Amino acid sequence: MDPLAAPVPDIEELLDSAHVVSLPLATRFRGITVREAVVFDAPLRATEFSPFAEYDDAEASTWLRAAIDFGWAEQPAVLRGRIPVNATVPAVSADDVPAILARFPGCRTAKVKVAEPSQTRDDDVARVRAVRDVMGPEGRIRVDANGGWNVDEAEHTIHELAPFDLEYVEQPCASVEELGELRARIRWMGVPIAADESVRKAADPLAVARAGAADVLVVKAQPLGGVRRALAILEQTGLPVVISSALDTSVGLAMGARLAAAVPGLAFDCGLGTAALLAADVTDDPLLPVEGAIPVRDVALSPELMSRHVADAERTAWWHERIRRCHHLLAR
């Protein structure tokens, strides 16, 4: 028996506690303007299931395992009560950067999305330059390519961005092999490489650490099956970590904050301030950044907000069927 696997509730218990919501974004992000999610009014605390629509059932079932773990199982002890977070700058024009950063009061770090398929390297450079102009010389800037470059593209773009004093480059290339080659090529620049998709979407999340292909790991609680499973993986890596989110509601951010609160020696600001990118949430007291941090606490669901932002019947049925399929994979 897996000691980290919380007992899987009956499917009817899951569905009876599920609320499918459709939340508008304050700005376009990852190509979407609305974020769909399922929040559960679970026995121990509200929890979330929000894999992106394109993920298959095998991958999405790990996210459901995380939701069950957080809502139906006791969580590890916390080491801190607040988590410093970074601002997140989508692939907007340079002119829009000041307004985006204003949504993250007190944040000393900004993660900037780059390598958008419809944009150019000049767009990326202009966006990062605008972030540096707003944050000043003491601000920390990290960029996230979501695996969008090949090795040559990554090397050339990082060379152009290096003068802006990058904290690290997140997932510049898609594969572990490419990350390792790039890391060797750019070592002279002094720009660390962080791995995200190579951890959360990999069959073996430790492969990137064993290969020496990254300096930092970016970890999300939902894709790794929950707080307890993520902690067990991190204990084996020996690398510093950043705890991040996947455009979650405040419920999912509470799960991420609980993970960040349990990580010994947390050295980096975390990507858990993304409630600031939502134009609506599922709670009256969202986990928005205040003085550059969010608290570690459970989130109380708002029946009024969940009713206001309930997904339509077709999308609700789609999510319910997805939960059934993922539940079947976990329960068998």
Whether 111 sits among the annotated catalytic residues: the reply is no
The verdict on 289 and 310 lying in the same domain is no
The verdict on 66 and 88 lying in the same domain is no
Joined together, the tokens standing for residue 173 give 């290339």
- Domain membership of residue 2 (yes or no) is no
User: Any known ligand binding at 196?
Assistant: yes
> Is the pLDDT confidence value at 109 over 50?
yes
Which residue in the list 65, 113, 127, 142 is annotated as catalytic? 113
Which residue in the list 65, 111, 220, 229 is annotated as catalytic? 220
The verdict on 284 and 319 lying in the same domain is no
> Is the pLDDT confidence value at 1 over 50?
no
pLDDT at residue 278, as a whole number: 96
pLDDT at residue 143, as a whole number: 98
- Domain membership of residue 1 (yes or no) is no
How would you class 219 by CB atoms within 10 Å of its CB: exposed for 0-12, middle for 13-18, buried for 19 or more?
A: buried
> 58 in helix, strand or coil?
helix
109: β partners: 140
Cα–Cα distance between 246 and 230 in angstroms, integer?
A: 15
pLDDT at residue 197, as a whole number: 83
- For the chain, the maximum distance between any two Cα atoms, rounded to a whole number of angstroms, is 56
β strands within 45-108, DSSP E? 46-49, 82-84, 87-89
> Is the pLDDT confidence value at 3 over 70?
no
Tally the domains of the chain: 2
For residue 204, give the CATH number of its domain.
3.20.20.120
For residue 41, is it left (φ>0), alpha (ψ between -120 and 50) or beta? beta
The answer to whether the beta carbons of residues 98 and 130 sit under 8 Å apart is: yes
The verdict on 249 and 323 lying in the same domain is no
For residue 308, give the CATH number of its domain.
3.30.390.10
Residues 235-262 have pLDDT tens digits of: 888 899 999 998 999 999 999 999 999 9
pLDDT at residue 2, as a whole number: 59
- Domain membership of residue 3 (yes or no) is no
Number of Cβ atoms within 10 Å of the Cβ of 222:
30
pLDDT at residue 236, as a whole number: 87
Name the least confident of 1-15, 95-109, 134-148, 220-234: 1-15
Alpha helices in 73-175 (DSSP H): 97-101, 121-135, 151-161
Cα–Cα distance between 222 and 229 in angstroms, integer?
A: 10
User: Any known ligand binding at 152?
Assistant: no
The verdict on 191 and 124 lying in the same domain is yes
Cα–Cα distance between 135 and 6 in angstroms, integer?
A: 43
User: Any known ligand binding at 269?
Assistant: no
pLDDT at residue 202, as a whole number: 65
Q: What average pLDDT does the chain have? A: 95
Whether 220 sits among the annotated catalytic residues: the reply is yes
What integer is the mean pLDDT of 287-301? 97
> 254 in helix, strand or coil?
helix
Residues of the chain with pLDDT > 90: what percent? 89
> Is the pLDDT confidence value at 292 over 60?
yes
The verdict on 54 and 93 lying in the same domain is no
Unique residue bearing structure tokens 């307004």:
99
Q: Helix (H) and strand (E) counts for the chain?
A: 12, 12
> 136 in helix, strand or coil?
coil
Residues 30-80 have pLDDT tens digits of: 778 999 999 999 999 999 999 999 999 999 999 999 999 999 999 999 999
pLDDT at residue 293, as a whole number: 98
- Domain membership of residue 5 (yes or no) is no
The verdict on 307 and 289 lying in the same domain is no
Give pTM, 2 decimals: 0.94
Boundaries of domain holding 100: 82-295
